[in-house]
């Protein structure tokens, strides 16, 4: 700690006193200015005081007294606020009213998607609280108002703002736009005639918002959309028990923020009470919802809501209820309709039929007269409902671990011979392998991951194939960057994503314009960044570039020793790579898997376990991984895993199969992902809800290594027994392990499986192009071990308790 002399202390005291005097003087000056402007406000028109729009804005919003008379009603109150600033409204609101352009881009993308399957009729748009017509001008730039809409109605109660809107309409020559200067509740509109209703920062200024929301609910057509952007403040306590609000990402506003912003805006009769947003979510079905902050102006909270009618008609699909179709796909069982729940009170007869969590959440909401979870109102039903506030999901924060897969799908296809009759359960990870499997057109793939962010990444990839041409898909996932990613997310991706995934990528859109791009993000980025830093520090960047360019194995082998001396140097492994922190945080290797590596090495060397042996074991494991890869695989043309690590992107010659031109042609077809279901849950939770003997393949990657061998009769045995139950006879389980023979293979063999090693990393051989694991196994189901329930009783109780927690209203 620094020590100050007495003289220095006195000098600091003087400085603090001067600083305090400056602060007091500034406060007094602002107060005097406010009083003067207040007194002049009733005598001198504001436009004579100044022509600067921002000073006029500050005066009107912060200093000018409001008309307190009640005889003018809401219109009088609005005129008191807007009359002195109507002409400068648009120029002063661009920074304050964030999200308007985003909301319009999203509703347009959603509307265009609906029109492609509609009757060809042009939509009718009502902009409630449309003010100066700014929204219409923005929409005109996006799509052309006269060509796209049958008619547009701008509804606003402020005569000053409506006058500006009429001038804008005349200037642009819009023949199909009408200004209605009246209360929204008095608008003459046939029920169900509005295809689009928007509200931009108007809901927070309407005192009697219940009646307005009820009114626009009746206006909306069965296939219509509502888009709202507005200020809000809310605590997590207010919405934590709801499953229909489209996710809670970034929604909570801390106590100070709630108090400050609510008080600040109330001075201008703007109400930030969370009840307005809550009522909208109750009256409509949520398609997309996102909570943002206007950081340039202090972090003002605002939200965007995209919704539709909450009744069954709004999401009926060709006469087949979405709920019925979805539940059958999730459980691999016949159609069951929760829409008939109210008529079928006695459920005892069907207790033994497995049901999905989506089905159960629908029953809970229907019985309580609530909207269904947002997943039911999506254009696609790839992503399955989950509760993002549960601890098991929040433990990952807002980060995925893997930005790309570390398993080789080429070898998977060779081992499993995937075909159109297969029903596959697999771990999501980064989703690369799932896209590869989909090229074989299996009947169904159940993608499972406990980390919601890994599933968000898979959603982003399938939305890209659904909405974008090959050039954009290549930029985003081939190069890991796209300068226009945020705009694509709003205008192209948004109709094809769940609300949670959309919120996530809207907050992470900077990744694709950052220096490192997608493949320097996620938990595994630490290892990649360290390697590149080492290459740069030791002058090996040019050598690495050459390694990724040369065309023959002989040239690759010649250049490798210079790079190997750095990567496999003992000091580096002693200080970094062999540590448990590095193994988990950078390489994604959990403690139990780390212990398997040590056990194998101790058995081979017949040495006792120790900290010293741990370093040697990890060093040898990395040597056994990398040396065979360089010796037997061509990095520049075929081994895209290591090419990506070294270069930070794929090349046109070296990339995953799903990033090829032919793959894009297949995966961009309308039905390409109809058989995909994305579960955000534990594997056991998903298996427990699948009908017996329906899966043909389960791909567990290295997840079995994560189990504790001391609990062999617990969770590992339960999962293996459950796999036996849901797999057909002849069904196969594929997994990889850091051990040459993992301890749990014996459990498979005791429970109806034949375990066979199909890849073993010894004598310098690669088990695949990654070669990251010591062995690969296929366990084939030979017999049904019993007809008992899938889960032992204790486990059943735990699953039931977890389900109740997720469905709690």
Report pLDDT digits (tens) over 453-497: 999 999 999 999 999 999 999 999 999 999 999 999 999 999 999
pLDDT of residue 94: 75
75 SS3 class: helix
User: Would you give the DSSP letter of residue 474?
Assistant: I
pLDDT of residue 794: 46
**Per the structure block, which two tokens stand in for 27?**
């406060």
Average pLDDT value for residue range 10-22: 50
Q: Name the H helices within 688-755.
A: 715-726, 745-750
d(CA 385, CA 363): 13
pLDDT of residue 608: 76
pLDDT of residue 519: 94
Could you report the per-residue pLDDT of 147-171, keeping only the tens digit for each? 999 999 999 988 888 999 999 999 9
Q: Are 332 and 444 in contact (CB under 8 A)?
A: yes
Could you report the per-residue pLDDT of 632-662, keeping only the tens digit for each? 999 999 999 999 999 999 999 999 999 999 9
**Per the structure block, which two tokens stand in for 98?**
């964030």
734 SS3 class: strand
d(CA 401, CA 588): 7
**Per the structure block, which two tokens stand in for 252?**
């909570």
What is the pLDDT of the chain when averaged over all its residues?
Answer: 83
Query: Could you tell me the pLDDT band of residue 207, with boundaries at 50, 70 and 90?
Result: confident
Could you report the per-residue pLDDT of 102-114, keeping only the tens digit for each? 999 999 999 998 7
d(CA 140, CA 144): 4
d(CA 300, CA 281): 21
Rg (C-alpha) for the chain, rounded Å, is 31
Residue 288 phi, psi dihedral angles, 5° rounding: -135, 145
Contact residues for 617 (Cβ-Cβ < 8 A; gap 6+): 597, 598, 600, 601, 602
pLDDT of residue 90: 56
Question: 697: which strand partners?
Answer: 424, 732
For residue 560, pLDDT beyond 60: yes
pLDDT of residue 660: 97
d(CA 760, CA 775): 4
Q: Is pLDDT larger for residue 304 or for residue 343?
A: 304
Q: Label the pairing between strands 220-231 and 300-309.
A: antiparallel
Q: Is pLDDT larger for residue 261 or for residue 326?
A: 261
What domains are defined for the chain?
6-90 (no CATH), 94-313 (3.40.50.150), 316-377 (no CATH), 392-512+658-796 (3.40.50.150), 525-647 (no CATH)
Work out the number of other CB atoms within 10 angstroms of the CB of residue 481. 20
Q: Label the pairing between strands 676-680 and 444-449.
A: parallel
Query: Could you tell me the pLDDT band of residue 341, with boundaries at 50, 70 and 90?
Result: very low
For residue 226, pLDDT beyond 60: yes
d(CA 595, CA 592): 5
Q: Are 402 and 524 in contact (CB under 8 A)?
A: yes
DSSP string, 282-340: HHEEEEEEEEEEEGGGT-EEEEEEEEEE-SGGGG-BTTB-HHHHHHHHHHTS----GGG
Could you report the per-residue pLDDT of 30-53, keeping only the tens digit for each? 565 555 555 544 454 544 545 555
CA count, 13 A, side-chain hemisphere, 804: 6
Average pLDDT value for residue range 358-365: 83
d(CA 453, CA 504): 8
d(CA 231, CA 715): 47
Strand ranges for 601-684 from DSSP E: 676-680
Q: Is pLDDT larger for residue 600 or for residue 473?
A: 473
Q: Is pLDDT larger for residue 63 or for residue 165?
A: 165
* Range scoring the smallest mean pLDDT among 423-432, 482-491, 779-788: 779-788
Work out the number of other CB atoms within 10 angstroms of the CB of residue 671. 7
For residue 344, pLDDT beyond 50: no
For residue 701, pLDDT beyond 90: yes
d(CA 724, CA 784): 7
Nearest to 773 by CA among 741, 734, 740, 737: 737
pLDDT of residue 333: 64
d(CA 53, CA 201): 20
Q: To 10 degrees, what angle do helices 73-82 and 159-172 make?
A: 70
Q: Which residue has the tokens 């793939």?
A: 445
pLDDT of residue 758: 95
Tell me what percent of the residues of the chain surpass a pLDDT of 70. 78
Q: How many helices (H) and strands (E) does the chain have?
A: 35, 14
Nearest to 50 by CA among 67, 65, 37: 37
Buried b (16+ CB within 10 A) or exposed e, 677-692: bbbbbbbbbbbbbbbb
pLDDT of residue 381: 87
Cα dihedral 88→89→94→95 (10° resolution)? 90
pLDDT of residue 192: 85
């Amino acid at each position: 700690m620094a020590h100050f002399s007495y003289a220095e202390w006195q000098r600091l005291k003087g400085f603090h006193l001067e600083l305090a005097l400056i602060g007091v003087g500034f406060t007094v000056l602002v107060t005097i200015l406010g009083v003067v402007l207040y007194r002049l406000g009733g005598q001198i028109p504001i436009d004579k005081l100044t022509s600067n729009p921002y000073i006029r804005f500050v005066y009107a919003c912060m200093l000018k007294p409001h008309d307190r008379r009640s005889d003018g009603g809401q219109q009088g109150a609005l005129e008191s606020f807007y009359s002195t600033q109507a002409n400068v409204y648009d120029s002063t609101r661009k920074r304050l009213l964030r999200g308007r352009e985003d909301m319009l881009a999203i509703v347009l993308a959603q509307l265009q998607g609906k029109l492609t399957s509609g009757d060809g009729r042009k939509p009718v748009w009502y902009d409630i609280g449309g003010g100066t017509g700014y929204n219409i001008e923005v929409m005109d730039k996006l799509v052309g108002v006269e060509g796209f809409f049958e008619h547009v109605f701008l509804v606003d109660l402020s005569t000053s703002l409506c006058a500006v809107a009429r001038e804008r309409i005349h200037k642009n020559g819009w023949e199909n736009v009408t200004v209605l200067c009246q209360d929204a509740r008095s608008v003459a509109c046939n029920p169900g005639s509005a295809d689009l209703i928007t509200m931009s920062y108007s809901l927070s200024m309407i005192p009697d918002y219940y009646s307005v929301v009820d009114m626009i609910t009746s206006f909306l057509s069965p296939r219509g959309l509502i888009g709202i952007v507005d200020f809000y403040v809310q605590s997590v306590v207010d919405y934590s028990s709801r499953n229909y609000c489209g996710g809670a990402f970034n929604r909570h506003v801390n106590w100070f923020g709630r108090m400050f912003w609510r008080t600040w805006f109330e001075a201008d009769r703007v109400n930030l009470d969370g009840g307005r947003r809550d009522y909208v979510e109750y009256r409509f079905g949520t398609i997309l919802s996102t909570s943002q902050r206007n950081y340039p102006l202090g972090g003002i909270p605002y939200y965007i809501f995209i919704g539709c009618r909450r009744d069954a008609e709004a999401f009926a699909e060709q006469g087949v209820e979405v709920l019925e179709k979805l539940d059958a796909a999730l459980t691999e069982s016949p159609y069951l309709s929760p829409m008939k729940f109210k008529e079928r009170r006695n459920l005892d007869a069907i207790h033994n039929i497995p049901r999905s969590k989506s089905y159960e959440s629908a029953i809970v909401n229907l019985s309580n007269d609530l909207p269904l979870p947002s997943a039911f109102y999506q254009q696609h039903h790839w992503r399955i409902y989950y509760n993002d506030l549960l601890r098991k999901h929040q433990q990952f924060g807002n980060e995925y671990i893997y930005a790309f897969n570390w398993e080789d799908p080429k070898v998977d296809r060779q081992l499993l011979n995937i075909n159109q009759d297969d029903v596959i359960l697999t771990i999501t990870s980064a989703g690369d392998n799932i896209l590869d499997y989909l090229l074989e057109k299996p009947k169904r793939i159940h993608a499972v991951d406990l980390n919601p962010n890994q599933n968000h990444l898979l959603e982003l990839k399938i939305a890209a194939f659904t909405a974008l041409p090959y050039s954009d898909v290549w930029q985003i996932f081939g190069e890991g960057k796209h300068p226009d990613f945020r705009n694509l997310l709003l205008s192209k991706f948004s109709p094809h994503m769940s609300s949670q995934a959309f919120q996530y990528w809207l907050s992470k859109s900077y990744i694709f314009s950052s220096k490192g791009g997608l493949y320097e993000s996620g938990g595994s980025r630490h290892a990649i960044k360290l390697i590149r830093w080492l290459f740069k520090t030791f002058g090996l960047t040019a050598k690495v570039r050459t390694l990724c360019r040369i065309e023959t194995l002989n040239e690759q082998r010649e250049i490798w020793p210079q790079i190997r001396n750095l990567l496999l140097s003992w000091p580096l492994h002693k200080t970094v790579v062999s540590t448990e922190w590095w193994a988990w945080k950078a390489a994604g290797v959990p403690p139990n898997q780390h212990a398997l590596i040590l056990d194998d090495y101790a058995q081979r060397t017949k040495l006792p376990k120790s900290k010293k042996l741990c370093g040697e074991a990890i060093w040898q494991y990395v040597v056994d991984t990398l040396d065979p890869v360089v010796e037997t695989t061509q990095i520049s043309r075929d081994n895209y895993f290591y090419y990506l690590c070294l270069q930070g992107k794929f090349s046109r010659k070296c990339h995953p199969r799903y990033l090829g031109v032919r793959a894009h042609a297949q995966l961009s077809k309308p039905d390409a992902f109809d058989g995909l279901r994305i579960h955000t849950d534990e594997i056991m939770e998903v298996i427990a809800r699948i009908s017996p003997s329906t899966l043909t393949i389960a791909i567990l990657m290295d997840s079995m290594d994560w189990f504790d061998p001391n609990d062999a009769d617990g969770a590992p045995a339960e999962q293996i027994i459950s796999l036996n139950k849901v797999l057909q006879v002849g069904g196969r389980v594929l997994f990889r392990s850091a051990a040459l023979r993992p301890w749990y293979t014996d459990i498979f063999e005791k429970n109806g499986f034949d375990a066979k090693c199909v890849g073993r990393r010894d004598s310098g051989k690669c088990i695949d192009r990654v070669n990251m694991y010591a062995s690969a196994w296929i366990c084939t189901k030979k017999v049904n071990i019993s007809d008992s329930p899938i889960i032992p009783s204790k486990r059943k109780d735990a699953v039931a308790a977890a389900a109740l927690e997720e469905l709690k209203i």
